[in-house]
Amino acid sequence: MVTLLRRQRSEFSTARPGAAGSGGIVEPEQPEFMMEVEDLGIRYDLRLTRKTTVRGAFRNLTKISREDRSFWALRHVNFRVAHGESLAIIGPNGAGKSTLLQVMAGILTPSEGRIQVVGSVSTLLTLGAGFDEELSGRDNILLAGAFMGIDAKEMRERLPGIIEFADIGQFIDAQIRTYSSGMRARLGFSIATAVDPDVLIIDEVLGTGDAVFRVKSQRRVMELAKAAKGIVMVTHDLHWAEEFCNRAMLLEKGGIIAEGNPSEVVALHRERSEKARLEREAEIARQVAAAAP
């Protein structure tokens, strides 16, 4: 059943700089979940653009209220990811989906609220993110392992399996800059899922590649879920959300609108998207009529 959520502020503490972990991530002792997001908020200062210097920003500090200077990309976001749960995050463009994943991955620090994560986190947020363009695919696998803090010997032991799953043939020894987007996706996905993460975070990459690889990637995600791992993914592929996730969450304008059964959440998303489309078309028609002589 879909649970519609009201945007109410919950009383949770804000993650402080210097707290345990990084990027506002705190590791609890014995939780019953893989990840918990509590009253999460990300605020951007609209004054600090390329055309606005820090000195100029402070000079205007007394002229503009704090609320006018700020934009909340996410606000009052609360949810949990349980053991073995595959959570699909869906919503329109600009809803804050990718921002949410970056916070969960520790790339962005929360402006308020906190995130608790159990165990290791593996991320696949952007095709080829972190790849060294001048190194081969083989060397990039080892480099990725070093970035994730995996012992070099252990990563070399995993190397054959990663190469086999990626299935890019002789290109494994070619420079990454020669790879197509599909090949980058294959290699990135193979690395991210081969390190046995407790929480896997994916951003809109499983639709890349041929049909055979998509089936392989879907099977790998389901295997991780069966092994009681937590999986969170942003996707515009609503069929994927319905077929391969056991829970979905609809995000709009930085807040959670609904969460629950994937089919019901997807249906609500389609309904709201169609309503928004009709309203945009009606507004355009009104503007055209008003401008007509």
Of 12, 1, 5, residue with least CA distance to 254: 5
Alpha-carbon gap, residue 233 to 206, rounded angstroms: 10
Which region among 105-109, 123-127, 179-183, 205-209 has the lowest average model confidence (pLDDT)?
205-209
The model carries a pTM of: 0.72
Domain annotation covers residue 190: no
CATH number at residue 98: 3.40.50.300
Domain annotation covers residue 59: yes
What one-character DSSP code corresponds to residue 176?
A: G
Cα angle: 155, vertex 87, 91; to 5 degrees: 120
| Local confidence band at 71 (pLDDT 50, 70, 90 cut-offs) | confident
- Residue 283's domain comprises 3-120+197-288
Domain annotation covers residue 150: no
What are the two backbone dihedrals, phi and then psi, of residue 67, each rounded to the nearest 5 degrees? -65, -35
Domain annotation covers residue 186: no
Number of domains in the chain: 1
Domain annotation covers residue 129: no
Domain annotation covers residue 101: yes
Domain annotation covers residue 135: no
pLDDT digits (tens, 9 = 90+) for 186-217: 888 888 888 777 888 887 656 556 778 878 88
